[in-house]
Structure 1
Amino acid sequence: MYLNALGRGDRPFFFLSDFHATRWFICPLDSLKDWKVRAELQLETGPLSLGGAPASPGQPRNAPEAPGIRITSKTPLDFRQYSRGFEIVQDHLRRGNSFLVNLTYPTPITLSGASRPLDALVRQSGAPCRLTVGDLRISSRSFSVFSPERFVTIRGNRISSFPMKGTRRIPGPGADPQITDPDTLRCSALGSLMTSPKEQAEHRTVVDLIRNDLGISAHRVWVDSYRFSQVIRTGDSELVTTSSRICGALEEGWSARAGDILTSQLPAGSVSGAPKAKTLEIIRAAELDDRGFYCGVAGVWLPPDRGAGRRSGPGGGLAPAEGEGTGPSLESWVLIRYIEQVGDAYAFRSGGGITIYSDVWEEYRELVDKIAIPVS
């Protein structure tokens, strides 16, 4: 496997996989400039720019290249059509074929502010994974990603996964005349998210799935942090989300098996469901088209001199946690918050996890709420 071969060498490389892990783009970093790929990645050790010039000195990495890049209109899937897909999923859940299914759909949008808005948005967004991909001969569509969700990180001999499951829109000022303090509004949204039986079940199912996935390659697996929250700011709203960190211990020399380890985790559990194989069949039946690279993964492998515990760019390095040590490292993200382009048309793909407790209207609203560019 090519990923394994690269992992045995000392050339850092970039990788990109579609949702089903059937189409891959793998390229040494020093050759990436020859392809239509541009990325701004916030590694655990600092920022890394790929495929294009980094931000100029003194320019924030989330500074817009053109003012006012924004989504000016969106045309979500008709609610009745969404309900049909939702009912297909619910039928399988009731029969016990799955416990959790991630249901997603594309939404046509219009963008304003630049002739090449996707390139400009890579700078404008503050998401930790910002990626623009042009024609790679493995995809008929150009796309950009502004992902807040880490997938798998390996530092030293520790592998970690960070499934993000559970989202609430934070009401804006005036939504509740009795609550005007922004922090109180955030706490109210977080409280609703944390106490929801549906969200609790969804998150618990994903954590169990990821524990099993990590156990394929790791000889010891544990949950390091369970359901921690973060606020994602978009241009005109805020979302609160919950994630967990699940860790495992790898054997020495894992880098020679980097490809096997990575592919054993795919498709990503947080954007598929459990049990994974049957759930993928349900997704094919319920969704309108193939996801392509949406919900796939992208990341980098770095050799020891640029890997764990070492500084990879301005902004300083982080001391490795106990058990992480030094050596080669791998960092990756799930390709969510995703805009694709076909000709002059754009579509934003979004969705969420469906359980037996799900309410069709709340799930539809979550799909619509996620159609926004993360600023920070």
Structure 2
Amino acid sequence: MNNFNYYIKAETPFLFLIDFHMKNFFISPLDQLKTNQIMFNFNGISNFHNKQIDKKVELISTPVDYETYLKSFNIVQNHLKLGNSYLVNLTFPTEIYTNFSFDEIFYKSKALYKLKFYDHFIFFSPETFIKIIDGFIYTYPMKGTIDASLWNAEERILKDEKELAEHITIVDLLRNDLNMISTDVTVTKFRFISKIKSNNKDLLQVSSEIKGKLPPDYKNNLAEIILKLLPAGSISGAPKRKTVEIIKEAEIYDRGFYTGIAGIFDGKNIDSCVIIRFIERIDDKLIYKSGGGITIYSDPEKEYMELINKIYVPTC
């Protein structure tokens, strides 16, 4: 992260990625990126010319069996019952097969944030992490997913007590996070709905907006400010430090860049996302990483199905 503050002060536009464990970083000026290696579109800021892909995405997944999922789920539940955490984001890897190349998935997918990183991984994230605009910081915790085709889906997700408790926990966590690095922290929007179209179904997701005012000299140590907010609360849990320990105990793989963050500095402001809806190439296999938040009220079968429902490519 040594170059982060330097590029900020020099007003040099750049791309950055930070992995979940904050051990691996990637930072590069936008004008040094090669489109045959890295392509991105972050809220309309992009470095490629789009190509029309007319064929339909075919995606076959082989998720972890329910018994294996339940073992990890029960580890999390035991910690929740002991009061070690209030919310734990539990994730799993799923091997997938598709008729699309990485490039074709990238061109075909539609999301607020999408990126192809060499031939290593690709993501198409709907979730903003933080935005920094003219001295103000905004964060957008996303918690709550439902199949949009279900009867009365929007009302059902908003009235679901488990989903409400989970969302309130994350909003409170992110509000406290912003209080560490900013003032006048306010929840400016609470539980608004966004719709995501995928290759096999439409989903509704619930988000909130929280705003804070950064100190006048924030550009001098912006890298340190961002690192204080990591890992992102929506994909870890609360309290954050203990919950990350629980995640390491319960999960059966290394997240890597999945559930890290990625962002763009345009020369003035920052727009960043949580790295979710993520496909990674590992030993010539394609691995889709997905999961969801677990509370003491969670139904393991429903949580298992949410993990599976999040294995998709969002298409136009």
TM-score normalised by length of structure 1: 0.81
Q: Which amino acid aligns with 1:270?
A: S
Deviation of the 1:121 alpha carbon: 1.3
Match of 1:333 in 2: 273
Q: How does 1:216-227 map to 2 (within 5 A)?
A: 216-227=180-191
Q: How does 1:265-284 map to 2 (within 5 A)?
A: 265-284=229-248
Q: How does 1:41-190 map to 2 (within 5 A)?
A: 41-42=42-43, 47-50=44-47, 53-55=48-50, 64-65=52-53, 67-71=55-59, 73-113=60-100, 117-134=101-118, 142-171=120-149, 185=151, 188-190=152-154
Give ranges in structure 2 of 5+ residues lacking alignment: none
Deviation of the 1:370 alpha carbon: 0.7
Are residue 242 (structure 1) and residue 178 (structure 2) matched? no
Deviations 1:244-286 (A, max 9, x none): 0001001223222221111111101000000000000000000
Secondary structure class of the residue paired with 1:371: coil
Q: 1:34 to 1:74 in 2, by over 3 A?
A: closer
Give the count of matched residue pairs: 315
Of 160, 164, 170 in structure 2, the residue corresponding to residue 196 of structure 1 is 160
Deviations 1:266-322 (A, max 9, x none): 10100000000000000000000110000011111122xxxxxxxxxxxxxxxxxxx
In 1, distance between residues paired with 2:13 and 2:41?
A: 16
Match of 2:282 in 1: 342
* Counterpart contact for 1:147–1:334, Cα < 8 Å: yes
RMSD over aligned Cα atoms: 1.5
Match of 1:309 in 2: none
In 1, distance between residues paired with 2:172 and 2:185?
A: 11
In 2, distance between residues paired with 1:196 and 1:69?
A: 32
Deviation of the 1:192 alpha carbon: 1.5
Match of 1:317 in 2: none
Secondary structure class of the residue paired with 2:249: helix
Match of 1:254 in 2: 218
Deviation of the 1:98 alpha carbon: 0.2
In 1, distance between residues paired with 2:99 and 2:122?
A: 15
Match of 1:307 in 2: none
In 2, distance between residues paired with 1:349 and 1:64?
A: 26
Q: 1:333 to 1:233 in 2, by over 3 A?
A: same
Structure 1 stretch 209-218 or stretch 3-12: which is displaced more?
3-12
Q: Percent identity?
A: 41
* Counterpart contact for 1:18–1:292, Cα < 8 Å: yes
Deviation of the 1:65 alpha carbon: 3.1
Q: Which amino acid aligns with 2:82?
A: R
Q: Which amino acid aligns with 2:45?
A: L
* Counterpart contact for 1:2–1:259, Cα < 8 Å: no
* Counterpart contact for 1:40–1:122, Cα < 8 Å: no
Secondary structure class of the residue paired with 1:33: coil
Q: 1:233 to 1:155 in 2, by over 3 A?
A: same
Q: Which amino acid aligns with 2:240?
A: K
Match of 1:213 in 2: 177
In 1, distance between residues paired with 2:65 and 2:204?
A: 26
Are residue 367 (structure 1) and residue 307 (structure 2) matched? yes
In 2, distance between residues paired with 1:49 and 1:291?
A: 26
